[in-house]
Structure 1
Amino acid sequence: VIPVEIVKERGCTFCPYYLGNYEKQPRCMMKTCAWDDENERFHPVLRELIPFYKEKMEKAEEKFLAMKKIYTTLLGMFADEMKQEELEKDECYGCAYGKCGPCIGICYKSMKA
């Protein structure tokens, strides 16, 4: 069992020796923690994970950029329609005063009521 404070402080969930939770308590398969308190460094095995996660991060970034490009392209295609829909949602959309210029504060609906 690993104290919750240590898990938060040292980031044990990234450690290859971390076994997850058992009965709601974090567990480690090492008898002694791989954390080196004197040098304040993790076990060298963790250093080998850096290239792996760097590669995963780069792939995720490429995928994100591709999705962002598709999203912005779609937004560009429908920008005028979306702008028109927003205008139609405005309560002053059908107002005779609002069609020829900006609102002057005289609401046709309140005058009619």
Structure 2
Amino acid sequence: MRRLVTGSSPYEAPIGFSRAVRVDDVVEVAGTAPVWPDGSCPEDAEVQADRAFELALDALRRAGGAPVDVVRTRMYLTDAADWEAVGRAHGRRFASIKPAATMVVVAALLDPRWKVEVEVQAILRR
């Protein structure tokens, strides 16, 4: 079984990707940036991380999963100094779940206003 979940990113159609893909009990949520419906993007890294996780976990839910199913997260930061702010956003969702997690500092993200992008992997419990 392969199920595609679309999101609201304007990049999905031109790039040709899904917000999430579920194959059997595995859900992979694509790199998710802090995108707001009106196109705005607050400067605060923690607010951006909260929004990115909100969108990623919404895609996971639409694929039939829940935060408790998350086994790995990845956080891409454009500034290492933002690790604590992004970590707090991660901790609010995953402190009791404790997935394998990675933070990577990158040179830039697609939109120069973005300070963080996240990925989520889940294995759904039967």
Which range, TM-score by smaller chain?
under 0.3
Higher strand share: 2
TM score, norm. by length of structure 2? 0.19
Q: Which has the higher contact order (CA 8 A, sep 6+)?
A: 2
Higher helix share: 1
